């Protein structure tokens, strides 16, 4: 009977752990491409960039000239065009010329606003890639946790069957089987909770790749990410991060606002030319001459204390505020870098430790317990404990690998891989 039990248990173990891994349809790279190509927020930001660029061109142009058509000095009793000498039909054109180089600076200001929004598009792209990567790794973990738990559940059921067949239902062995049934129930409860997480992550990924694609099988290979630099290298790259680029462009735009405020100390002009058509004759019989009028109107910036001075001070304060915002953004990015890099190093150390010893010891412990149980050198409870320890070790190892990958995704976001 011992030989039969040994053969039966060996066949069970072999059948559970010799499942071939099939190539899956959807990869992380494909998911990233789909998410960025179909993100409506990115499309909206791109439209805003085009709008601001067109607006920047328009703002450098002079205002439209104004045409004038006037009927002047007509007598209201008979509207006779020839009776009064000043009666005339006037036509003319005028052009407003803004103060100084205001138009030039307004165009530059709007162009820099467009650059700021373009940096927001890069930032959004980086955010999308980081979120999809992290969701992907979480889904990978919970999906493979479900597979591992299902294998453990099947193995436990088979071991219980073998024990019942071999030993019957009496004495201590009944207690062993009851204990195993309890472990099986706990495992089944864990399986339900794991499936809850799998379903939730499917819904989250569907936002980025669509419900049809998320229902397809995913690539079964743990995704590889691009390499990251060392701490100092990533820290130096933070100044070119899109979040900083957004603020840098805004600072440039606010500085153009200072230039615009300075131009308000200069006068603006209105120039015009009009021509008056007159009918009738003078007392000497000659035709009345037409009138030609040229005019120049300009602002007199005399009371600058309450207007121009305040506008200039306000624009300068906006620049200072944006500079403080830049400092805060960089400080926040450095904090993220410090946390993510420490987490990545610690998780990397743990993954290496598991690779070098923990996984091997857990497997050897289960195999030794199985061998001892076949030879009646240990009890059933010890075998179950060894099996549970190996399962927990596998899940812990997968969780640590997932956490390391998520920390690496954060570092890629910070070093700039996602917005090349």
Residue by residue, pLDDT tens for the chain (420 residues) are 444 555 445 554 544 444 444 434 688 998 999 999 999 999 999 999 999 999 999 999 999 999 999 998 888 888 788 778 788 999 999 999 999 999 999 999 999 999 999 999 999 999 999 999 999 999 999 999 998 899 888 888 887 777 676 655 454 467 777 777 888 888 889 999 999 999 999 999 999 998 877 777 666 778 889 889 899 999 999 999 999 999 999 999 999 999 999 999 999 999 999 999 988 777 677 788 889 999 999 998 888 999 999 999 999 999 999 999 999 999 999 999 999 999 999 999 999 999 999 999 999 998 898 888 777 787 777 888 888 899 999 999 999 999 999 999 999 999 986 444
E-state strands within 106-237: none
Reduced DSSP (H G I as helix, E B as strand, rest coil) percent helix, strand, coil of the chain, to 5: 70, 10, 20
DSSP designation for 417: G
CB hemisphere CA count around 156 (13 angstroms) = 28
Question: Among candidates 61, 72, 60, 90, which has minimal Cα distance to 272?
Answer: 90
Locus of tokens 């007159």? 278
**Contact call for residues 369 and 386 (beta carbons, < 8 A):** yes
**Edge-to-edge strand ranges of the sheet holding 66-72:** 66-72, 88-97, 269-277, 291-298
CA–CA dist 344, 135 (Å, integer)? 17
The pLDDT of residue 20 is: 40
Radius of gyration of the chain (CA): 40
Structure tokens at 78: 């008979």
The pLDDT of residue 266 is: 93
CA–CA dist 368, 281 (Å, integer)? 128
Q: Enter the CATH code of domain 2-62+101-266+303-419.
A: 1.20.1600.10
The pLDDT of residue 406 is: 95
CA–CA dist 267, 299 (Å, integer)? 5
DSSP designation for 37: H
The pLDDT of residue 3 is: 43
CA–CA dist 263, 276 (Å, integer)? 36
Please, which residues bridge with residue 68 across strands? 92
Question: Among candidates 28, 41, 53, 6, which has minimal Cα distance to 130?
Answer: 28
CB atoms within 10 A of CB 326: 18
DSSP designation for 238: G
Question: Among candidates 192, 181, 39, 198, which has minimal Cα distance to 120?
Answer: 39
């Amino acid at each position: 009977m011992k030989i039969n039990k040994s053969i039966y248990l060996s066949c069970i173990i072999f059948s559970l752990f010799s499942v071939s891994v099939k190539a899956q349809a959807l990869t992380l790279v494909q998911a990233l491409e789909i998410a960025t190509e179909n993100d409506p927020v990115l499309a909206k930001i791109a439209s805003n960039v085009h709008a601001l660029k067109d607006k920047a061109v328009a703002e450098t142009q002079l205002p439209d000239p104004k045409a004038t058509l006037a009927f002047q000095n007509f007598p209201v009793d008979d509207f006779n065009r020839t009776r009064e000498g000043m009666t005339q039909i006037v036509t003319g054109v005028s052009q407003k010329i803004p103060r100084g180089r205001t138009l030039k600076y307004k165009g530059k200001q709007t162009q820099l606003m467009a650059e700021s929004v373009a940096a927001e598009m890069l930032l959004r792209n980086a955010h999308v890639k980081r979120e999809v990567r992290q969701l992907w790794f979480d889904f990978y973990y919970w999906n493979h946790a479900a597979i591992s738990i299902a294998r453990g559940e099947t193995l436990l059921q088979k071991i219980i069957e073998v024990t019942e067949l071999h030993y019957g239902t009496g004495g201590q062995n009944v207690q062993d089987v009851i204990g195993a049934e309890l472990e099986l129930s706990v495992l089944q409860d864990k399986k339900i909770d794991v499936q809850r997480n799998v379903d939730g992550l499917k819904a989250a990924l569907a936002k980025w790749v669509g419900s049809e694609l998320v229902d397809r099988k995913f690539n079964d290979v743990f995704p590889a990410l691009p390499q990251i630099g060392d701490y100092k290298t990533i820290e130096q790259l933070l100044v070119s991060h899109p979040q900083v680029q957004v603020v840098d462009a805004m600072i440039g735009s606010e500085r153009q606002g200072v230039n615009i405020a300075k131009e308000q100390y200069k006068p603006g002009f209105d120039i015009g030319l009009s021509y008056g058509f007159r009918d009738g004759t003078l007392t000497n019989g000659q035709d009345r001459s037409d009138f030609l009028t040229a005019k120049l109107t300009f602002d007199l910036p005399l009371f600058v204390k309450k207007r121009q001075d305040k506008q200039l001070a306000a624009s300068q304060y906006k620049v200072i505020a944006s500079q403080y915002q830049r400092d805060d953004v960089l400080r926040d990015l450095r904090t993220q870098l410090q946390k993510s890099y420490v987490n990545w190093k610690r998780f990397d150390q743990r993954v290496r430790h598991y690779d070098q010893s923990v996984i091997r010891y857990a497997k050897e412990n289960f195999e030794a317990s199985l061998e001892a149980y076949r030879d009646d050198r240990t009890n059933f409870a010890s075998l179950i404990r060894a099996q549970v320890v190996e399962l927990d070790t596998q899940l812990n190892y997968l969780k640590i690998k997932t956490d390391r990958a998520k920390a690496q995704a954060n570092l890629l976001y910070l070093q700039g891989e996602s917005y090349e």
